[in-house]
Amino acid sequence: MKKGNISVQTENIFPIIKKFLYSDQEIFLRELVSNAIDATSKLKAMARKGEYKGALGDLTIDVIIDKDAKTLTIRDQGIGMSQEEVMKYLNQVAFSSASDFLEKYKDDINIIGHFGLGFYSAFMVADKVVVETRSCKKGEKAVTWICAGNPEYEIGESDKEIRGTDIILHISEDSSEFLEENRIEELLNKYCKFLPYPIRFGTKKEFVSEGEGEDAEQKEVEVDNIINETEPAWKKQPSDLTDEDYKAFYDKLYPFSPPPLFWIHLNIDYPFNLTGILYFPKLNNGLEVQRNKIQLYSNQVYVTDDVKEIVPEFLTLLHGVIDSPDIPLNVSRSYLQSDSNVRKITGYITKKVADKLHELYKKERESFESKWEDLGVFIKYGMISDEKFHERAIKFALLQNVDGDFTPVEEYKDKVKELQTDKHNKVVFLYTNQPDHHDSFIQSAKQRGYDVLKFDTIIDNHYMQHLEHKLGDVTFVRVDSDTVDNLVQKDEETESVLSEKDQEKVKTYFEKVVSENPGTMVQLKPLSPEDDPVVITRPEFMRRMKEMQAVQGGGMDLPDSLQVVVNTNHPLVSGKLVRAKSEERREEIASYLYNLALLNQQMLKGSDLTAFVKKSLDMLSK
């Protein structure tokens, strides 16, 4: 046996590897299995070029636990290493054999292991690492390399007879979890589920049918426990996949999830390499719970589900897989670095998603509208957060009114501007976020030929402001923000049937009624006799400020500013109230009409509501 020192800059390299190199200890298994995949890929590349002429045989990679020996072994039958290669690649930290091989075979193969430190992740969980390897080259002897987690190593001949490499980890006491079968199978399923060569982790029992028809019997047999699917859907051509194939793959990624709305198959090889499938899930008006569902792979090796550096934030609402060898990763492969390739990939994915949505809108308009409850949240979020997506999405972003009719934004503006333009020459988009709550306001608006939109998702406050900014000549006003006649430009004012003296009296009665509610203003308006006698409105600006504050949390406690609008042309005001025989009766009618308006806005609660109901029953019984 020869002895030597590994070429490192400091003797403290192993404690650094053990504690700080990777964000999670479990990454070691991904790195070592990835190395085994590389070794197998290299062998196939050499065979294709005629540089290896032997039989390839079984290329399955084995992961083996020996609890008695406290070892975990990763075994491949790939290219193997000679003693010279072991000295070169294992003894020089941060010098990867993949780099040399890539240079020679760059047009022929994709190699995962760009980082020489990948192998040394083994020392995060092992007190000692033994490498038994035999090169595929004729005449080379098998080699043993042993290192106990310090710069000293031993190297010598091995009795290994077959081609390939065994990495044997002597698991340390504080990492004993990695000797448990359930834990290793969990990690293999997480990181290695779609690797291109079979990964075998022992055996499992399955039931198979023997015989035919009624005589068939179920027999339990032991079979290889193959962890991975070597040809996942995203590596196939879209023409080779059916809708059922896409749905089945989604079920593998997200078991027990509702089926996706639709999907986009990504496949590009210039100016960068990228494949993948992105699924549109059912959002159900939710944003946060949907994040971190896109899985990033590098040549089928799982890297992370935190893809915000690659995918625009709004696209993190999608589910699926992105696989690209061109995305730069740091040593842990867990964090992404921004560079020109990443920016190109981001732009490409955004364009593909927008193109797919536009295609669905044009070709399957009815289906597109039926999915709007889910698509709308996604599209609105995208338009707010990504300028380029907004430019594309404005063509298919829909507005839905309370009757369930859908209209693209620009068309809608043209549709309503004749009737719904205010005195500032802005087109008024009336909307409600609670159609049932605002029904009386909606009906009043519709009677005048106005259209009312439904904006009831968690993102709509931001989206309305976004559209106001982008369109310039549009303003959104909630249908209860003012009396409907005040929301748009009127040709002429309606005259009040009351004299100025009677109007002053009416105002006095209502001001007395609302005096206990600070911030509440009384306003008299000569509306149509068919309109409600009293309407409570909330100024649009102040209400939006309060809602934005509620979403963001904290900040100033803004007053709840209300307008009590008294319709002086309603018979209950111009007749019953004004002609009442006593001051007490007039105040009683004013109070009743005010409470009725509060009830209509669902603002009458608690003891006030109880008293109002009792008062109503008393009136009916007289």
Distance, in Å, from the CA atom of 221 to the CA atom of 203, rounded to the nearest integer, reads: 10
Express each pLDDT in 428-456 by its tens digit: 999 998 888 888 889 888 988 899 999 98
Q: Is domain 500-538+551-621 given the CATH code 3.40.640.10 in the classification?
A: no
With CA atoms as reference, report the closest residue to 443 among 427, 432, 433.
432
616 pLDDT tier (thresholds 50, 70, 90): confident
Identify the CATH class of 233-365. Answer: alpha beta
Pairing of strands 164-171, 71-76: antiparallel
Express each pLDDT in 158-182 by its tens digit: 999 999 999 999 999 989 999 999 9
Residue 273's contacts (CB-CB under 8 Å, 6 or more residues apart) are 324, 325, 326
8 A C-beta contact, residue 316 and residue 307: yes
- Domain map of the chain by residue range? 2-201, 233-365, 397-487, 500-538+551-621
What pLDDT is recorded for position 357? Answer: 93
Express each pLDDT in 73-90 by its tens digit: 999 999 999 999 988 888
Distance, in Å, from the CA atom of 568 to the CA atom of 297, rounded to the nearest integer, reads: 69
- Alpha carbons within 13 A on the beta-carbon side of 621: 6
For the domain made up of 397-487, give the CATH fold.
Answer: Rossmann fold (3.40.50)
Number of neighbours of residue 388 by Cβ within 10 angstroms: 14
What pLDDT is recorded for position 591? Answer: 86
Distance, in Å, from the CA atom of 301 to the CA atom of 30, rounded to the nearest integer, reads: 8
In this model, does residue 229 exceed pLDDT 80? yes
The CA-atom distances, in angstroms, between 97 and each of 42, 101, 116, 140 are 11, 6, 7, 18
586 pLDDT tier (thresholds 50, 70, 90): confident
Tokens 């040394």 correspond to what residue? 120
3-state secondary structure 551-616: HHCCCCCCCCCEEEEEECCCHHHHHHHCCCCCHHHHHHHHHHHHHHHHHHCCCCCHHHHHHHHHHH
What pLDDT is recorded for position 403? Answer: 93
Enter the tokens of residue 452.
């009312």
3-state secondary structure 62-118: EEEEECCCCEEEEEECCCCCCHHHHHHHCCECCCCHHHHHHHHHCCCCCCCCCCHHH
Please tell me which of 3-7, 65-69, 317-321 the model is most confident about, judged by mean pLDDT: 65-69
59 pLDDT tier (thresholds 50, 70, 90): very high
What pLDDT is recorded for position 340? Answer: 65
What pLDDT is recorded for position 97? Answer: 47
Cα-Cα-Cα-Cα dihedral of 409, 411, 417, 421, to 10°? 10
Cα-Cα-Cα-Cα dihedral of 468, 470, 473, 474, to 10°? -30
3-state secondary structure 112-137: CCCCHHHHHHHHHCEEEEEEEEECCC
With CA atoms as reference, report the closest residue to 528 among 578, 461, 574.
574
In this model, does residue 555 exceed pLDDT 70? no
With CA atoms as reference, report the closest residue to 201 among 219, 224, 178, 232.
224
What pLDDT is recorded for position 331? Answer: 37
CATH code of the domain made up of 2-201? 3.30.565.10
Q: Which percentage of the chain shows pLDDT scores above 90?
A: 36
Pairing of strands 71-76, 61-66: antiparallel
Residue 455's contacts (CB-CB under 8 Å, 6 or more residues apart) are 431, 432, 433, 463, 464, 476
pLDDT, mean of residues 93-107:
49
- Alpha carbons within 13 A on the beta-carbon side of 275: 13
Express each pLDDT in 343-401 by its tens digit: 778 888 889 999 999 999 999 999 999 999 888 888 999 999 899 999 999 999 999 99
114 pLDDT tier (thresholds 50, 70, 90): very low
Q: Calculate ∠ Cα 310-313-318, nearest 5°.
A: 85
Q: What is the pTM of this model?
A: 0.73
- Alpha carbons within 13 A on the beta-carbon side of 305: 14
The runs of H, that is alpha helices, within 218-320 are 243-253
